[in-house]
Amino acid sequence: MSAPPVIVLFRHDLRVADNPALLAAVAAGGSLLCLFIHDEVSPGIRPLGGASRWWLYHSLAALGASVERLSGTLHILRGNTVDLVPTLARRLGASAVTWNRRYGAAEVAVDTALKAALTASGISATSHNSHLLYEPWTVRTGAGTPFRVFTPFWRAARSLGEPLPPRPAPARLSAAPWPPGSPARCSIEDLGLLPGKPDWAEGLRAAWRPGEGDALARLAAFLGDGLAGYAAGRDRPDQAHASSLSPSLRFGEISPRQVFHAVHSAVLSGRASNRDGEKFLAEIGWREFSYHLLFHFPDLAKANFQPRFDDFPWRASGVADLVAWQRGLTGFPLVDAGMRHLWQTGTLHNRVRMVVASFLVKDLLIDWRAGEAWFWDTLCDADPANNPAGWQWVAGSGADAAPYFRIFNPVKQGETFDPAGIYVRRHVPELAALPDEWIHQPFAAPPEVLHRAGIELGKTYPAPILDRSFGRKRALAALASLNGRR
The single-letter DSSP state of residue 100 is: E
| Assigned CATH topology for domain 132-165+211-296 | 1.25.40
Radius of gyration of the chain (CA): 24
Following DSSP, what letter does each residue of 402-464 receive, concatenated?
PPTT----HHHHHHHHSTT-HHHHHH-GGGTTS-GGGTT-GGGS-HHHHHHTT--BTTTBPPP
Bridge-partner residues for 124, per DSSP? Answer: 96
Query: Is the Cβ–Cβ distance between 62 and 211 less than 8 Å?
Result: yes
Residue 486: per-residue pLDDT? 46
Domain 307-483: assigned CATH number:
1.10.579.10
Q: Looking at residue 484, what is its pLDDT?
A: 57
**Angle, CA of 107, 147 and 397, to the nearest 5°:** 80
Alpha helices in 70-166 (DSSP H): 81-92, 105-120, 150-159
Confidence (pTM): 0.96
Return averaged pLDDT per consecutive 10 residues of the chain, 486 residues in all. Answer: 90 98 96 98 97 98 98 98 97 97 98 98 97 98 96 96 96 96 95 94 97 98 94 94 96 98 95 95 97 98 95 92 98 98 97 97 97 98 97 93 84 97 98 98 97 97 96 92 66
The residues facing 126 across adjacent strands are 98
| Residues belonging to the active site | 283, 286, 314, 350, 368, 391
Intrachain domains 6-130 and 132-165+211-296 with the same fold? no
Report which of 285, 287, 281, 290 is spatially closest to residue 230, judged by C-alpha positions: 281
Locate the DSSP E strands across 288-388. none
Query: What's the confidence (pLDDT) of residue 403?
Result: 78
Contact present, 427 and 421 (Cβ < 8 Å)? no
Strand order in 124-128's β-sheet?
74-78, 32-38, 6-10, 96-100, 124-128
What does the pLDDT read at residue 1?
A: 56
pLDDT of residue 68: 98
Q: Cα dist. 465→17, 26, 359, 366, 468 in Å? A: 49, 58, 11, 14, 9
Q: Where are the domains of the chain?
A: 6-130, 132-165+211-296, 307-483
Domain 6-130: CATH superfamily is HUPs (3.40.50.620)
